[in-house]
Structure 1
Amino acid sequence: MLATIMYSSEGEVYNLSSNAECMHGEELSQSKEHEKINDLRERGYMEHGCQHYRKRCRIRAPCCNEIFHCRHCHNEAKYDIRIVPKLRHDIPRHQVKHVICSLCGIEQEVQQNCINCGVCMGKYFCGICKLFDDDVSKKQYHCGGCGICRTGGSENYFHCDKCGCCHSTLLKNSHACVEKAMHHDCPVCFEYLFESMHEIAVLPCGHTIHINCLNEMRQHLQYACPLCSKSVFDMSKVWEKFDLEIAATPMPELYQNKMVWILCNDCGRTSNVKYHLIAQKCLNCKSYNTRQT
């Protein structure tokens, strides 16, 4: 192949093809170097970690100076019933300063890539929460309002300042605001909801609960919020069955004209209604989720 020649105004000759080949060679060299670095960083991907996170490092707890896979492993160990109550404690996650690489064992300051072997200790890395995780399918993101990392993708959630937590975008214009909605324990299992790794449901009343706990309530025929007693499901079909059952169960003559005051747990209204042994129906919203006052 003929070389392309270009003469400059000073009479110097440049072989463009040779220069192009030299530049291409440098690009290939740089590309190989990048591939080598990437290969080093990818070593051990999804092969290390614990039941909570797949990652290539462990943390040194600043509170007790012990080494754990993650903060959840620490809290499970240090809040065990066998631990003396005064020694039980949670790890201050934002104060973690040192991690230990799972591949080379070198302890170092918190950072995404190991300073010794170059491996990436977590595909997802948050320097604020000191969080590492190789399983990015969780779609982790850091919420500045919550001050911690969440899962599910930032595009699918919004932060409500009054509730003090993130909600699904599907609830953006319809959720009932409850101040500090998730800053309390689950009303069923008593795990602190704000930092829970389990899925959380927002009830129509605005209170929050683990989805698994809500399903258990349904299995045990419990249909009211444990905190405010409002119905958490569509109960219209159930109320229709109550109507039929009450109609088929007349009260003894002594109680046929007995009147009682009731408070509806669903709408909050009071009503003066006929007493029935099975249940009393709210005159306002037609709910049977009521109680005598």
Structure 2
Amino acid sequence: MGDVENKNVKIAGTTPVERYGALSVKGNQLVDRNGNAVALRGVSTHGLSWYPQYVNQESFRFMRDEWGIEVVRLAMYTAEENGYCVGDDDNRQMLKDVIHKGVLAAADLGLYVIIDWHILSDGNPNQNKEQSLAFFKESSKRYQEYDNVIYEICNEPNGDVDWPEIKAYADEVIPVIRQNDEDAIILVGTPTWSQEVDKAQVDPITGYDNLMYVLHFYADTHREELRSKLKLAHDGGRPIFVSEFGICDASGSGAVNVEEADKWIELLESHSISYIAWNLSNKEETSAFFKVSCTKTTDYDCDDLSESAKWFIQMK
């Protein structure tokens, strides 16, 4: 809150992890090793079951050096085709291997990395809670010595689920992570596809440090009403992390809305709130960063990129 000094200044010639060190939460703000405000800027993969090729060290290095990214989000779907909770053991192992590859690549390059339990069609995180508990127990043990790893425990709760159910889920998952990693940042999704951060504002999770609440937006759908919810929650003392956003509509398609996107970024940067763009894929949709014709997995040039990617890069 007001006692956090904003010194989120990039130092030339250093990696993000070298600049900021182990992150923590102070009041309503993500802070670096010295207690200075940090707003990470990054990109999210699409589903690791479908687009694992973008998880590679060369791609991460290119995006760090050319696009200025500081964090990569590894989106592991849970209930969609070949999702972690519906595929067989071989598929689950493949997904864990891709995550491990991404964590190692990020660590080598000094990037932060988010391990994202990407619920979607399984809108209530309690639906696959037992698998979530086992996954985060294993992952937090495996990465307990990595200062760059962030855990996102439920991507977008939706449908007939409200904050008390999400909070109850979080109250079971968080201790599992904390048994192995006392300090890692943990991101908690909020109701209605991670839009109702105002509900977490009035009924926060207590008893744990380094928690943040997730807000997602798509600029052509979510406008001033959702920005007001973000401001209400943040001004009320809740640390917010935008772990996914797009500049089109909420379907991931449609036209880009640069005017509304710029309003969002202005708000986020004025409050030192981290934001991660969706998505690294060549899927035929507006939010995908690469044209369908692009088969590269690094060394991208302007002709390979969508409007969404070009907009994101010009903010560097």
TM-score band (shorter)?
Answer: under 0.3
Q: Tell me which protein shows more helix as a share of its residues.
A: 2
After TM superposition, the score normalised by the length of structure 1 is 0.21
TM-score w.r.t. length of structure 2: 0.20
The structure with the larger Rg is 1
- Where relative contact order (Cα < 8 A, 6+ residues apart) is larger, the structure is 2
